[in-house]
Amino acid sequence: MALAPVAAIPVWVPFLAAVVTLDLIADVISKEFSLHGGSWRMALAASFVVAGNLTWQFMLRTSGVGLARAGLLFAVGVAVGATLIGVFGYGEGLTDKQKIGAVLGVLVLLLLG
């Protein structure tokens, strides 16, 4: 008995995951710069932003994903990721309104995915 083929992941999904990851790494390094200083941290954060932007450009050029869809998924992904890093990594709090916004952001990801 043969197994049904698994649906292929669109080529833009790994690119978008890489862009979000690079941006979140830059955010963490920027937070560390704000806490501890060090020009090297600022330069390192900027290099991750540049790497993410280059990946973004390559994704848009080669993968066929639309700017509107990719832009919204990127924005929500980074917002949710940064929120989780802030809350769990740095012990920052959220207001009730911000919690609702985070839940709605996840809902957007589910609806657009």
The predicted-structure confidence for 74-104, as pLDDT tens digits, reads as follows 988 898 899 999 999 999 999 999 899 888 8
In this prediction, residue 51 carries a pLDDT of: 98
Cα 74 from Cα 12, distance rounded (Å): 12
Cα 100 from Cα 73, distance rounded (Å): 18
For residue 9, the tally of other CB atoms under 10 A from its CB is 9
The predicted-structure confidence for 15-29, as pLDDT tens digits, reads as follows 999 999 999 999 999
Token digits of residue 27: 């955010």
Token digits of residue 102: 């985070």
- Contact between 44 and 29 (Cβ < 8 Å): yes
Number of C-alpha atoms within 13 angstroms, CB side, residue 113? 10
Rg (CA), the chain: 17
In this prediction, residue 19 carries a pLDDT of: 97
Q: Where are the domains of the chain?
A: 12-112
- Contact between 70 and 113 (Cβ < 8 Å): no
